[in-house]
Structure 1
Amino acid sequence: MVAMSGGAAPKNERVFDSSASIVLVGCRGAGKRTLGFIGALHLRRRLVTEDHYFEKVTGLSRGEFLLQNGKEAFARQNIDVFKRMLDNNSTGCIIDCGMGSLAEEAQGYLSLYSRTHPVIYIHREKEQISLLLDAADAEQLLKADEQHRGCSNLEYFNLFDDSSHVSPPVSGANTPVDSRQAGLLKLLGVREDFTRFLDLITGRGATRAWLESPFSVQAVPPEFRAYSYAMRLRLSYLMDMDLEWEDFEARGDCIELIIDCWPQDLHSVIARQVALIRRKLGVPIIYHVEENPRGERRRPPEEKNPMDAELLELGLRLGVDYLSLDLQRDEAFVNRVLRHRGRTKIIGNFSYMGFGALPWLDEGQVENYRKAQSLGCDVVRLIRFCSADSPAEVLEEFRRKVRETIPDPKPPLVAYDFSVLGVRTPLQSKILSPVKHPDIENERDYLATVSTCSGSFELLFRQFLLDPLQFYVLGSNVSYSLNPAMHTAAYDFAGMPHTFQAVNCSTLDTLNQICISDSFGGACLTAPFKVAIMPHLKVKSHHATAIGAVNVLLPLRGQTNAILDHANSRNKAGRARDFFGDNTDWSAMVTCLRRAISPRNYVQPSKTTGLVIGAGGMARAAIYALIQLGCRQVFIYNRTYDNAVEVAKHFNDWVATQGLAASAKTNGSTPDVCRVLPSRSDPWPAGSQLPTMVVSCVPATSVDGNPPADFVMPLDWLRSPTGGVVVEMAYEPPVTPLLAQIQGLRERGSPAWVIVDGLEVVGEMAIEAFELMTGRMAPKRLMRAVGRQQLQSVHSPGYRP
């Protein structure tokens, strides 16, 4: 069957104004309040809750109003307040609906509201809700909760996050959000998932990632990378999987979730699997509904179309990144899905699954592409069964015809042959090539039986499409660096024949000699280069510019000045046209601080105090990390006072330009965010809270005026009644005097202090550097394990460097 060309894309009915308020509905215990706090903080919006809005309007709590006025008056007032809440807060808010949304009239109003606003149905594991509510109440509420699907246009499955059992405190609906975030900083999984979901449905995620660092894995969508791979996972397998989620890490640039069965409670099962992929793997999701599910009879079109459309619309409601749409279905079916696409990208498919498949050079294949383009598809995927040889030249000739005969803008093309043995060759399609996990049996899946991500990528090097490169860690004292071991393990995992070595050097001339080599792939920089190289770089990330220091250096080898061209020239040798500088020190610190900080010490801009020891490039990243976390009081101590003053001025000037200074005013001027401590013998500054976040950035040996790692803290600086977090960046030796000091405090009855050792932060830096340098997802668990093993081996008896 050949689809006819012509026709325009139907109007997208689920793209809303960027300022439209976001409404959360769902059962009590589903986590709406917590998600509301997280969303309001992330989007910098005001949080409105139904309970508090009711009290604001009536002057009475719900219980008090019911007691004084009776059920009938309460029901009328409830609906009136509900409508007023939505109407009077239609922009710039996150609205948390309470149980009033279960009323029939309220749901009708929500349905109308959802035409112009995102209305998100929040649900979670029934077992978790049952733990929070009385069994009888839970059963009744869960049954009523199913009605929320009918009045919402989006859906979020709130997976249980075992990183914290703390609930945020309840406060007034219109007070600043940052005063109500206690407990949220430990909900790492929930926060990362939900903010990613919000970024996708509001359309701001890719743009923000690109502006922050155009070389990050998140900044370049898989369809625009030089090479990308889609790992196929079937719903029937995930429901009874024999591997751990960690085993799928870095096995593909995205996951293609194939809905191939209809279990009981199908919608919730699918929603949970989408949530698990987001939580465990953190990669884009392609959502594909198989036309003939396993164990189901073949259905006539009048049954098949409504069910398939419902399942596809579920994928759109779940906010998946991509939806796979069969354009060979009838026009009404296709248009129904396209009208509800929202921010989800559409992969338009033409699949020829049997003998007599349409040849590549048949004009019908060009018409297929043109049809997908006219419908506004973001990617076009053409797949054909091939029982005989299919020379690569034939498919390449088809690609040439598309390039030359189809006007711009042309959506990226995925095209390949397959047989009963799998994809004909992993190199037929450069983007979104189907791959499998090597340990999964592919029953009834011919599209990924022979290819794995690492095997396909390795083949690119063997065929000289990519080049082995040399990567480095460069600095004055890098002999004990763990980077070579971690990066080398990641290269082996990903099928890349690169090398990584530590080279001691201390002059920019020596650095330049290494970087101008045609085989230079990139470098991690340590002292003395992080700040010194800044004036020599024309292209830097937003964060590196703000920090004033670089710790990752990349060659730019694109044939044009376009950043995407440079990004897709990674893993290729040649003369560098220029160099790009980025900073992963700060983001690694943020990750580790978020993991370690307790709910009692959540960041309050007007109160929370941070302390940074040192004034070099690493200290700059630490100060920036604290500011990004919301801290607006940062003290700096360094042995060389003038260096600390210079760093403080740099950040105070930057904070002033960003409008991030503390809200308090002194003599009509904004106080400095960064202040310098002149001496360890001085008492802690009066009027400032004791630090709850301490980052020691002093090296193992004295460099650039910084104190060596034998630094210990004055006890008066460690008297925070709620303790805090101490991050020790030095890991050589593994237990520095500062770590020993904090451990001693814990043993003497101050257990509230949490220790983050340098190895944990260095592991996060290595992971981010690997992704920046290669453009590939990092095997995070492997790299962390190798770093820990390497440090243990260095300090084992008999080791000689």
Structure 2
Amino acid sequence: MSVPPSRAGSPSHGHDRAASIVLIGMRGVGKTTLGTIAAKALGWSFLDTDIIFEQRQRVSVAHFIHSRGWEDFRRIESEILHDVLPANSKGKVIACGGGIVEVERNRDLLKRFREYGLVIHVLREKEPVLAYLQSSSVYPPLVHETAREAWDRREKHFRECCSYEFVSLTVPIPPTPQGFQGIITPDQTFALKPVEQDFFRLLRFIHGVDTNKVSRVGGPRRSYMLSLTFDDIRRAVPVLEDLSLGIDVWELRADLLAEWEPTFLSFQVATLRHHSTLPILLTYRTRSHGGKYPDITPEDRTTVERHAFLLHHGVRLGIEYVDVQFTSPESTIRYLMQNKGNTSIHLSYTDWNGKINWSHPQTRVLYERIRAWNPDLMMMVGMAKTFEDNMALRQFVGGVERERRQNSNGHSLNLTPPLIAINMGPEGKISRVLNPTLSPLSHPLLPRPAAPGQVSFYEAQTILYLTGLLPPKRYFLFGNPISHSMSPTIHNVAFQALGLPHTYESMEFLTIEELGAFLQELLQMSGGTGTPGGGGGGFGGASVTIPFKEGIMKYLGHVTKHARVIGAVNVITAIPHPGPNDQIGGYTLSGDNTDWRAIKTCLQQSLTPSNIITHETTALVLGAGGTARATLYALYQIGVVRIWLWNRTKSRADGLKEEFEKVDAGRMLRIRVVSHLDELLRDGGEQEEEEGSRGGWFLPTMIVSTIPATSAGALSSSTPIHTNLPSIALSSHALIDVGLKLDHLSDAGGVAIELGYERRITNLLKLAKEKRERGVWWAGVEGIDVLLEQAYEQFRIWTGRRAPRSKVRERVIREYEGIWRRGDED
């Protein structure tokens, strides 16, 4: 997303977030492009050692090498590196030439620098880069070797010097239009969005801002990992979304990959990350433990070092979890534990031969030996011969868990690492279902199961339901009128796709008092001990729409800070609180708001790297109702502090401005209410300074319409309102002409979001499209996509799982197509 990784405070493992970032790698892999994007996002300066070389020598690199040779070039290049790195240890992104690692003293300097800064090795697909180098006239050919030979030779030096490795996967770049040669066009910038997102994901992981770990591992919510058994992850891409349903972590079975080379692994991980944000567990399972990787012989130093190198390469890639077999040499375990950074070490023991007896004292001894390493996660896997072996396993785990709780003495249970304990084999299936922490799953779309006895997520939920361990819950939509709402379709499709036994239905109330009484009745029916609600499932939560989003708050036991600031709740969750003997002592109704999160997500996904948010960024909000409040909050949360606000009734906009500016304790937020949108054009898009503000006010790069005013025409009085984004009034009266024109959209590009969805293409979205056709990238986001985003977030809050986006969207679009066709005919 187009927001910089946080730079506050230093992480525990020693990387100062203000420390400069050095990019190394072969020519043509995109270091300059990546460095420019990163520097702009971070608000840092970008330095390119090749540019510095040309500035100092007053001649191009190619001309210098042609006239004076490679040896002189390497000597001066080395001098520049030794000048630049010590003098720019903080707040810089520095791109180095492809041959910087040729000189030993340069490699030594980079190794010293990585002790406090970041040295990132940038990779790209070899063949396209070599083709580019062959056709490029920027550099003369290498002496005595080809570019391919240089690449292969330098690779070990790059890895020797780097702290982390990043694969910048090639993305399709639109051709440069005639007359725009030498200029990066807006659509080309937008094409680089995936590269930006992938790189910032790595930076946030390194700095501990977002390590992308499963929340509450070992907590009350069950978590799962899917064991990927493809020999090439590219084969999984077409079915990756289906494979991901319900799971929390990808287990990348690297021992099953076609190659065991670090570069192949780098591209496999990059491909997986390019298509999924789920964390990854890297596993090299050896043959004696049921895998394909050769067994490690401690006496064979070469195989030991090779194995340790591959595991640590996972750390170098910023992989969230790395599995280390407990039978690995102690030197390997120690090295990984000491050099793991923000990667979690998953220490495992797999008994492929069925020797583990869960009732025998030696199994407890084995557990204590694993725990003594203090890994982040432990895993013990046996082989069930009878169903009773699963009961013995649960007794073993129960004893461990009781001791874990006793040892916590009221402190965090994280002091003792969570244990994953399962049995393999057909008789062991139930152990996988009962295991609450990162239970390994399979899927029918996989080439084969990773181990005998694995079940799918859908099967696991069915078994939990049939055994009473997954009680069905009832979810509702509260509002009036809601008879045509799409929310039941959205959530019921999602529940069914994941095999969850829950239901979602609409309930209309005439007054807020009636709704409040119904909520109290649900809580009283629980008797303080069970799930609130009666037959057909207990009460799990509800969506709230007009006219109850504000009034519902007084009936809730807890309201999030976000909902309090916005002044509206659109989702309720029944949260259990503990009672005696591990029983549920009752429920608290908690209220939240997902409208702002949906708007925030749509903004961040659509902004290009060139539209990075700064203190000068401006946005325009059309409307001053409930969703306008959520929009202002979303903009503020992503760092926009200069906001234009228009509303037909100016006094409402003035009141919203006065109220909302109080939210900003730092007094940086400025909201300007305009009576006419042409006020944005005053002084060529800049306005005179308000006292205490900084910089000029430019035309907006974000426009969000929270009213039906930007639609192309009026709704007929018979058009049904299929909505659960209630703050936006999809009324049937004549639509308002807000006076929005093409000139109001910044020539710097941006994103236009339409919250109304009675039509797919509105005047606002038409203007964004026209701007694109004129060579200025303006992304357009339809209201239906915002609606779906807020529903996906509600689903996540209730179930702790990601909604099946494609399945839900396909169904909703199909339902709406008839409405849109009728709207276009009006």
TM over 0.5: yes
Q: How does 1:60-71 map to 2 (within 5 A)?
A: none
2:262 and 2:508 mapped to 1: Cα distance? 57
Residues 1:512 and 2:516 aligned together: yes
Cα distance per residue 1:745-792 (max 9 Å; x no partner): 789989976543211211222212211121012211112112211212
> Given the alignment, which residue of 387, 390, 398 partners 2:388?
390
Please tell me whether the aligned partners of residues 49 and 77 of structure 2 are also in contact (alpha carbons under 8 angstroms): no
CA shift for structure 1 position 50: 2.9
Change (3 A) 1:653 1:476: same
Cα distance in 1 for residues equivalent to 2:638 and 2:616: 13
Q: Distance in 2 between matches of 1:547 and 1:54?
A: 53
Q: Does 1:577 align with 2:591?
A: no
What's the counterpart of residue 129 of structure 1?
129
Cα offset, 1:317, TM superposition: 1.3
**CA distance in 1: counterparts of 2:36 and 2:512, whole angstroms:** 47
The residue aligned with 2:598 is 588
Pair 84,422 (structure 1): closer, same or farther in 2 beyond 3 Å: farther
- 1:318 aligns with 317
Using the TM superposition, give the Cα deviation of residue 52 of structure 1 relative to its aligned residue in structure 2, in angstroms: 5.0
Partner Cα separation in structure 1 for residue 57 and residue 760 of structure 2: 61
Matched residue, 1:202: 207
Equivalent in the alignment of 2:118: 118
The C-alpha deviation readout for 1:579-606, integer Å capped at 9, x for no partner, is 142x332332243345555677x35646
Match in the other structure for 2:807: 782
Of residues 228, 241, 251, the one that matches 1:256 is: 251
Q: Relative to 1, partners in 2 of residues 1:346 and 1:134: Cα closer, same or farther, differing over 3 Å?
A: same
2:165 alignment partner in structure 1: 155
Alignment correspondent of 1:641: 650
Match of 2:197 among 183, 192, 198: 192
2:570 is matched with 551
Matches within 5 A, 1:746-785: 755-785=780-810
**1:186 and 1:595 in contact (8 A); partners too:** no
* 8 Å contact from structure 2 (residues 384, 427) kept in 1: no
Root-mean-square deviation (CA), in Å? 4.2
In 1, Cα distance between equivalents of 2:456 and 2:478:
34
Q: 1:93 to 1:163 in 2, by over 3 A?
A: same
- The alpha-carbon distance between structure 1 residues 198 and 744, as it changes in their structure 2 partners (threshold 3 A), is closer
Decide whether aligned partners of structure 1 residues 717 and 685 sit closer, same or farther in structure 2, where only a CA change above 3 A counts: farther
Offset at residue 388 of structure 1 (A): 2.7
1:683/1:35 Cα in 2 relative to 1: closer, same or farther (>3 Å)?
closer
Matched residues in 2 for 1:792 and 1:182: separation?
Answer: 29
For 2:570, the aligned partner's letter is: N
Alignment of 1:72-471 (within 5 A): 74-99=73-98, 101-104=100-103, 105-130=105-130, 132-134=132-134, 138-139=147-148, 142-146=151-155, 147-162=157-172, 184=189, 186-206=191-211, 220-224=215-219, 226-236=221-231, 238=233, 240-241=235-236, 244-261=239-256, 263=258, 266-292=261-287, 300-301=297-298, 302=300, 303-355=302-354, 357-405=355-403, 407-408=407-408, 409-419=415-425, 423-442=429-448, 445-447=450-452, 449-471=453-475
Correspondence for 1:478: 482
Partner of 2:626: 617
State the distance in 2 between where 1:335 and 1:102 align.
29
State the one-letter code of the partner of 2:433: L
Structure-2 separation of matches of 1:51 and 1:550: 55
Task: After TM superposition, give the deviation of residue 36 of structure 1 in Å.
Answer: 3.0
- CA distance in 2: counterparts of 1:252 and 1:704, whole angstroms: 33
Q: How has the CA–CA distance of structure 1 residues 182 and 108 changed in structure 2, closer, same or farther, with 3 Å as cutoff?
A: farther
What CA distance in whole angstroms lies between the structure 2 residues aligned with 1:18 and 1:755? Answer: 34
Any conservation in 1 of the 2:681–2:744 contact (CA below 8 Å)? Answer: no
Q: Distance in 2 between matches of 1:437 and 1:381?
A: 21
Residue 546 (structure 2) pairs with residue 527 (structure 1): yes
Contact kept? 1:102, 1:144, Cα under 8 Å: no
Identity value in percent: 27
264-273 or 342-351, larger mean C-alpha shift: 264-273
Q: What CA distance in whole angstroms lies between the structure 2 residues aligned with 1:139 and 1:508? A: 72
Tell which deviates more after alignment, 517-526 or 151-160.
517-526
Question: Relative to structure 1, is the Cα distance of residues 47 and 145 closer, same or farther in structure 2, using a 3 angstrom cutoff?
Answer: same
Q: Take 1:76 and 1:747, find their aligned partners in 2: how far apart are those partners?
A: 47
Q: Give the deviation of 1:102 after TM superposition.
A: 2.6
Query: Counterpart amino acid of 1:115?
Result: E
Moved more, 771-780 or 112-121: 112-121
Q: Deviations over 1:705-763 (max 9, x none)?
A: 97947233315575547475432211135566x46975997899899765432112112
After superposition, the C-alpha distances for 1:448-484 in whole angstroms (9 at most, x for unaligned) are x441112212322222223222223333443332221
CA distance 1:311–1:732, shift in 2 (3 Å): same
Q: Which has the higher contact order (CA 8 A, sep 6+)?
A: 1
1:677 and 2:674 aligned: yes
Q: Distance in 2 between matches of 1:646 and 1:590?
A: 23
Cα distance, 1:498 vs. partner? 1.3
1:229–1:705 distance in 2 versus 1, CA, 3 Å: closer
**2:754 maps to what in 1?**
728
Contact 2:765-2:781 within 8 A present in 1 as well: no
SS, match of residue 22 in structure 2: strand
Change (3 A) 1:739 1:65: closer
Q: TM-score, normalised by structure 2?
A: 0.79
Give me the TM-score of the superposition, normalised by structure 1: 0.81
- Distance, in Å, in 1 between the alignment partners of 2:292 and 2:197 is 36
Q: What are the Cα deviations for residues 390-434 of structure 1, in whole angstroms up to 9, with x where unaligned?
A: 344422321233235564421111111112666354333111111
SS in 1 for 2:587: coil
Instruction: List per-residue Cα deviations over 1:125-145 (Å, max 9, x = no partner).
Output: 123424543257753553354
* Inter-partner Cα distance in structure 2 for 1:192 and 1:344: 20
Counterpart-to-counterpart distance in 1, 2:15 and 2:304? 27
Instruction: Identify unmatched segments of 5+ residues in structure 2.
Output: 1-10, 136-140, 409-414, 523-531, 533-537, 688-697, 709-714, 716-720
Q: Structure 1 residue 250: deviation in Å?
A: 2.0
Kept after mapping to 2: 8 A contact 1:222/1:253: no
Report the Cα distance in structure 2 between the residues aligned to 1:265 and 1:334, rounded to whole angstroms.
20
The 1:145/1:451 distance shift into structure 2, 3 A limit, reads: same
The offset of 1:525, in angstroms, is 2.9
Task: Tell me whether 546-555 or 197-206 shows the greater mean CA deviation.
Answer: 546-555
1:502 to 478, 482, 506: 506
Is the contact made by 2:25 and 2:158 (CA closer than 8 Å) also made in structure 1? Answer: yes
* Counterpart Cα distance in 2 of 1:414 and 1:441: 25
Indicate if the aligned counterparts of 2:173 and 2:188 stay in contact, CA closer than 8 A: no
Q: Are the structure 2 counterparts of residues 575 and 91 from structure 1 closer, same or farther at C-alpha, using a change threshold of 3 Å? A: same
User: Which structure 1 residue ranges, 5 or more long, are not aligned?
Assistant: 1-11, 172-178, 210-217, 562-568, 662-672
Is contact 2:387–2:427 with CA below 8 Å preserved after alignment? no
Note if contact 1:228-1:253 (Cα within 8 Å) is conserved in structure 2: yes
- Between the aligned partners of 1:170 and 1:458, the Cα distance in structure 2 is 58
Aligned AA (2:285): E
**SS of alignment partner, residue 468 of structure 2:** coil
Q: Which amino acid aligns with 2:737?
A: V
Q: Say which is worse superposed, 782-791 or 136-145, in terms of deviation.
A: 136-145
The answer to whether the 8 A contact 1:225-1:431 is kept is no
The 2-side partners of 1:235 and 1:375 are apart by 31
> What are the superposed Cα offsets for residues 106-141 of structure 1, whole Å, 9 maximum, x if unpaired?
122212333343322110212342454325775355
Q: Output the CA distance in 2 between the equivalents of 1:492 and 1:594.
A: 30
Q: 1:186 to 1:548 in 2, by over 3 A?
A: farther
